[in-house]
Amino acid sequence: MAQTWHPESRGTLTVHTVSSATLNVRLAQDIAQRLAAAIQARGFAVLSVSGGKSPVALFEALRVIAIDWSRVRVTLVDERCVPRTHPDSNARLVQTHLLQDLAAQAQLVFMVAGASEPLPAPPLLAQAAGMALLAANTADVLVLGMGADGHTASLFPGASNLAEALDLRNTQTCMAMVLTPPPANAPYPRITQTLAQILSARHIVLPLTGTDKLPTLQQAWGAANLAIPISFVLQQTQTPVALWLAN
């Protein structure tokens, strides 16, 4: 990411600027160390991850690091409302790119348990996913992404229930998001962790590459704005967030 603007660490927000060639390896090492420390402290670790294409290289760097993966529970930040065997399922992406090599021993906690159609309605899927997340326990590390439009997880600008999903007084763990129209590249109903649930993690990481996202990041850096949902993660002071930028 060729930067003309250089964000600086502040409060609970830490900025790591690294080369694009080393970002995924260095971040994978950081995540693995945090998971190993959690295993030592509590006997298990919880890693919550986002889907899409962006984290694939990170997953492939992480899965070859030697920690006790049999004690790691992998949860999802959000999911498409498709069977877990569907090619566009985030769970399938995680199984294909993360739960391989040494990480094959990790336990995946599905957000959508069904392997075939028909599936329950999205609100029912969200309720069941919330129960599964709570049973898995608090995320030690939660990996977010950011789209060029400022969305994170399935918290999309323009969703009719976005304000509810971002409200920290909301006690729901997961919600079905009302997206009209749904994203063109994956036109499915979505369920997502709410902002309150995302911020219950012990540590959040946000890796970003690509100059196309820098203007959106700069706007999100300034103030919380419903038009840029990731801004609510960057403006809060409850949970440590590490921003990893490729230079």
What are the structural domains of the chain?
A: 13-246 (3.40.50.1360)
- The token pair that represents 77 in the structure block: 């930040």
pLDDT given at position 223: 95
Could you tell me the pTM of the whole model?
A: 0.96
pLDDT tens digits for the chain (247 residues)?
445 678 999 999 999 999 999 999 999 999 999 999 999 999 999 999 999 888 999 999 999 999 999 999 999 999 999 999 999 999 999 999 999 999 999 999 999 999 999 999 999 999 999 999 999 999 999 999 999 999 999 999 999 999 999 999 999 999 999 988 888 888 899 999 999 999 999 999 999 998 889 999 999 999 999 999 999 999 999 999 999 999 8
Model pLDDT, residue 1 = 46
Instruction: Answer whether 86's CB lies under 8 Å from 45's CB.
Output: no
Tokens 């918290």 locate to 155
Asked, as a colleague might, if the bond just before 181 is cis with ω within 30 of 0, I would say yes
pLDDT value of residue 2: 47
- State residue 3's pLDDT score: 54
Q: What is the per-residue pLDDT for 224?
A: 96
Give pLDDT, residue 4.
Answer: 67
